[in-house]
Amino acid sequence: MKVDYDVNAGSIAIPQSKTKLALLLLLSLTFVALGLWIIQNASSPENLDNWHRWKGLIAGFSSIIFFGGCSLAFLFMLFNNNPGLIVDDKGITINPGIFSNRFIPWNQVEKFSIQQVLQTKLIGVHLKNPEEYIEQQKGAWIKRTLKLNYKNFGAPLSIATNNLKGNFDTIYSLLTSRLSSYTLNAKTNVIE
């Protein structure tokens, strides 16, 4: 299903896709079950030496912990009715689900870029003063995550579109068009 958004609309709220979230939840639960299966097989004494048993236990528990956490996040997001992304004349509001909303005014956005992590495409939000933005955040874990994103991708924030209604290209086009409009209007107002 292709969803288009009117670039000229005042405020656009892009909802989270319940179907995509349900599929992500199902996939995460599958990996939790796989982790349980690995632990069960690693615990049986037949034809496994200690080294392979430990590797199996570590892999199984890692799978359960990571994908169990993902499952909880997707479950929370599935019942969260807030839009995943809001684009308006003032800026963008990113609702990552389990964390607090992040509002970024247009005057702080330098550009958007396309990032790829494994097979997942993300929209990088490049800021004019990224270090200042990172230091304003509360919580050491959030600051560390933003610094790591900035170091690896040149952008402290990323927008994951895989849980939003609409496709990646449509959302990316919407964001770049709105930023261009803001930049053009800002230049026009300075000249006048």
pLDDT of residue 166: 82
Q: Residue 84 in contact with residue 164, Cβ under 8 Å? A: yes
Asked if the model's pLDDT at residue 2 lies above 50, the reply is no
CA atoms within 13 A on the CB side of 153: 24
Q: Which tens digit of pLDDT belongs to each residue from 59-76?
A: 889 999 999 988 888 888
What fold does the segment set 12-16+82-191 form as a domain?
A: PH-domain like (2.30.29)
Lowest mean pLDDT among 36-40, 175-179, 188-192: 188-192
Average pLDDT over residues 102-130: 88
pLDDT tens for residues 26-44? 999 999 999 999 888 877 7
Stated pTM of the model:
0.69
Mean pLDDT of the chain: 82
Environment class of residue 135 by beta-carbon count within 10 Å: exposed (0-12), middle (13-18) or buried (19+)? exposed
The pLDDT tens digits for 139-157 are 788 888 889 888 888 888 8
**Range with lowest mean pLDDT among 14-18, 96-100, 174-178:** 96-100
Over residues 81-103, mean pLDDT:
80
Q: How far apart are CA 32 and CA 38, in angstroms?
A: 10
Q: Which residues pair with 114 in a beta bridge?
A: 123
pLDDT at 5 over 80: no
Q: Using CA atoms of 112, 114, 115, 116 in order, give the dihedral in degrees to the nearest 10.
A: 160
For the chain, the domains span 12-16+82-191, 18-78
Residue 100, pLDDT score: 62
Give pLDDT, residue 115: 86
Binning pLDDT at 50, 70 and 90, where does residue 45 land? low
